Amino acid sequence: MSATQSGPLERKFSVPDTGRAAGRAAHVAGERVANGRILRLVKSGPERQALDSGQVDAVLDPASGNAFLLPDARRALFSAGGRIANCLLAALPRKAYQSLLGELEPVTLTSGEVLHKPGERIWHVYFPNDSQVSLLMVVADRKALEVGLVGREGMVGIPLALGADVSSVLALVQGSGSALRMKAASFREALGRCLPLQHEVYRYAHAKLVQARQIAACNRFHLAQARLACCLLLTRDRLRSNQFHLTHEVLADTLGIRRVGVTNAAGALQRRKLISYRRGDIRILNPKGLKAASCGCYEIVRKLAL
Amino acid sequence: MRSEKTTSSDAGPAVATLVVMRLYVADSAPNSLKAIANLEAICKEYLQDNFELEIIDVLEFPQRALADGVLVTPSLAKVSPSPAAKIVGDLSDRRNVLQVLGIRE
């Protein structure tokens, strides 16, 4: 709490908070005004130390009589609509969830970030909110195949719950967004004392196992176009948006095909006016039609894992 | 609105005198939730039922916090027994919290 960070203060206080409701906090016209006011309010003392160590959610302004939320707090409160965004955590009884809060740390995941590497120790588990993480099997010649996808419905780091502390897959962030993370040791300890968490994690682990089996069968028997449609629908469900960004490379890894195969499959779906696809920016134009074009695995995986 | 009050005095306390506290939070922002969880754990372990805790949401009642000299949340104010004291942050530094509340480990 007493540690002093050397990070730029401008970044920390750069966004003026306009309040969760317009009437609650006065609108601050410019960043400089907001910065100046907040910095002046907490120039020194324990408040300043708490601010510098990231332990403050809001600052009060005696002049205006308002409370100003700091950016991280505002993001946490409003990006998830004030609710627990991760479904696995949201399924826990309130008391059980609250008992975990001391260990959960909000983080931002960036597309392309590696969370776990195959054969390496797992240091943290992640509960995505609006981010998405792809679990890839990497084979000797550096080819990768997606064997699972984790979004708000689940968590990354299941092996820890099953007694292994080493990852067997590459956990790669596919969609940027927020998540909550917990240290591996804390997660194991929480799993031991919190039965509702244990129940939810085991239920989810089973769903992931079934999903992996389904993907294995799907990869062997279904055509690329149907699998691409299935993949896009599952991504849409996880992100709750008909628009998202997925590069050719990511889709090729996901489907276990070459990039030219992705081009052909996406082109076919585009010609049927089911999607629009331009430089990785995907828009689902006709969800019903896309569902009809997908293989039956979509419904099975959705029911099990989402 | 979130302003709760928990009061009890019947059970055998770990600390003889009633400890009256006010915790100022910002809705369910991460540090505020941590502070509540950390304080709940401390109260359960050291104070049992011999405490009075009021949780005040400064987004609902900013004037209340300002009147009490609170500048940031989460902040915990010990009202009684005297001397009054205050601690800011997510209350993860248990030793510091216990010191402020006048509780021996």
Residue A83: phi, psi to the nearest 5? -105, 170
Hunting for tokens 């691409």 — which residue is that?
Answer: A228
Close Cβ partners of B56 (under 8 Å, ≥ 6 residues apart): B2, B3, B22, B23, B24, B25, B64, B65
Residues 6+ apart with CB under 8 A from B65: A60, A67, B24, B56, B58, B73, B75
Average pLDDT, chain A: 78
| Helix intervals (H) in chain A | 9-12, 31-41, 45-52, 71-78, 87-90, 94-100, 158-161, 184-193, 195-221, 224-239, 248-255, 259-271, 287-293, 297-305
User: Is A103's Cβ below 8 Å from some Cβ in B?
Assistant: no
In B1-104, the DSSP E strands lie at: 3-7, 19-25, 51-57, 72-73, 75-80, 85-88
Compute the half-sphere exposure of residue A188: CA atoms within 13 Å on the CB side of its CA: 11
Chain A segment 264-283 residues within 8 A of B by beta carbon are none
State how far the Cα of A112 lies from the Cα of A108, in Å rounded to an integer. Answer: 12
pLDDT of residue A186: 93
Query: What's the one-letter identity of residue A105?
Result: E
Phi, psi of A155 (to 5 degrees): -150, 160
Which pLDDT does position A39 carry in this prediction? 54
pLDDT at A36 over 70: no
H or E element at residue B65: helix B62-67
Question: Cα separation of A63 and A72, whole Å?
Answer: 23
**How much is the average pLDDT of A52-79?**
77
Q: What is the pLDDT of residue A78?
A: 56
- Partners of B2 on chain A (C-beta within 8 Å) are none
Please say whether the beta carbons of B92 and B38 come within 8 A.
Answer: yes
Pairing status of strand B3-7 against strand A281-284:
unpaired
Confidence of residue A183 (pLDDT cuts 50, 70, 90): very high
Cα A169 from Cα A122, distance rounded (Å): 11
Tokens 């585009």 locate to: A270
User: What is the number of other CB atoms lying within 10 angstroms of the CB of residue A142?
Assistant: 6
Residue B16 has what pLDDT? Answer: 67
Q: Comparing C-alpha atoms, which of A207, A204, A201 is closest to residue A182?
A: A201
Residues 6+ apart with CB under 8 A from A119: A166, A167, A168
pLDDT band at B22 (very low <50, low <70, confident <90, very high): very high
For residue A221, pLDDT beyond 50: yes
Within 13 Å, how many C-alpha atoms sit on residue A283's CB side? 5
Q: Report pLDDT for A226.
A: 93
* A123 or A101, greater pLDDT: A123
Terminal CA-to-CA distance of chain A, rounded, Å?
Answer: 39
Q: Is the peptide bond before B74 cis (omega within 30 degrees of 0)?
A: yes
pLDDT tops 80 at residue A64: no
Per-residue pLDDT reduced to its tens digit, A85-118: 788 988 888 778 878 877 888 788 888 899 999 9
Residue A98 and residue B37: Cβ atoms within 8 Å? Answer: yes
DSSP assignment string, A248-266: HHHHHHHHTS-HHHHHHHH
Among all residues of chain A, which has the CA nearest to that of B40? A99
The pLDDT value recorded for residue A7 is: 30
A159 within 8 A of A97, measured Cβ to Cβ: no
Query: Quick one: tokens of A185?
Result: 């040791």
Most confident option among A23-27, A181-185, B63-67, B91-95: A181-185
Where is mean pLDDT largest: A62-66, A69-73, A162-166, B57-61?
Answer: A162-166
pLDDT of res. A292: 92
Taking contacts as CB-CB distances below 8 angstroms, the residues of chain B near A96 are: none
What residues of B are in the A interface, CB distance below 8 Å? 25-34, 36-38, 40-41, 58-59, 62-63, 65-66, 70-74, 86-90, 92-93, 96
Mean pLDDT of all residues in A278-293: 90
Residue A182 sits at the chain B interface (C-beta within 8 Å):
no
Residues of B in contact with A99 (CB under 8 A): 37
